[in-house]
C-alpha cells in the first residue's frame, strides 16, 4: 500500500493482516478541528476503544484472513477489503467516502 494514497475521515483506520500479525497503516492528518495536538493512534482517548479490541473485532469479521481491513472507530464498524490495497479505496467509495478519479 506504499504507493496508494487514501484519504478518509479521521475516525477510519486501515489495517493489514500479514503472517498472523496486524499492521496499522500510517495516518497523515491534514486537517483537525481540535485546538491542540493529539496522538492519532491513541484509540482509547479518541474513540473509547483499545487497539487490542479493534484487532479482536477485525479478526471476527473474516477469521483473521490476510489482507486489508478498514475500521470506523467512531461507529465501531469493521470491513474486510480484500488482499489488494485498492480494495480499501473501493470499500470507502462503497461507503460514500471519496470519488473516482
**Cα–Cα distance measured from residue 15 to residue 54, given in angstroms and rounded to the nearest whole number:** 10
Neighbours of 13 (CB within 10 A): 21
Q: What is the pTM of this model?
A: 0.87
**Cα–Cα distance measured from residue 68 to residue 14, given in angstroms and rounded to the nearest whole number:** 7
Measured in whole angstroms, how far is the alpha carbon of residue 22 from the centre of its chain?
11
Residues 44-101 have pLDDT tens digits of: 999 999 999 999 999 999 998 999 999 999 999 999 999 998 999 999 999 998 888 7
Residues 25-35 have pLDDT tens digits of: 887 776 677 77
- 3-state DSSP assignment of residue 57: helix
Measured in whole angstroms, how far is the alpha carbon of residue 45 from the centre of its chain?
17
Amino acid at each position: 500500500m506504499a504507493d496508494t494514497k487514501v484519504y478518509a475521515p479521521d475516525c477510519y483506520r486501515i489495517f493489514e493482516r500479514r503472517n498472523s500479525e496486524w499492521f496499522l497503516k500510517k495516518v497523515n492528518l491534514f486537517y483537525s478541528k481540535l485546538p491542540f495536538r493529539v496522538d492519532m493512534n491513541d484509540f482509547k482517548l479518541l474513540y473509547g476503544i483499545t487497539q487490542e479490541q479493534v484487532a479482536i473485532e477485525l479478526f471476527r469479521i473474516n477469521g483473521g484472513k490476510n489482507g486489508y481491513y478498514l475500521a470506523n472507530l467512531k461507529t465501531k464498524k469493521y470491513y474486510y477489503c480484500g488482499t489488494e490495497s485498492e480494495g480499501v479505496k473501493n470499500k470507502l467509495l462503497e461507503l460514500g467516502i471519496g470519488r473516482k478519479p
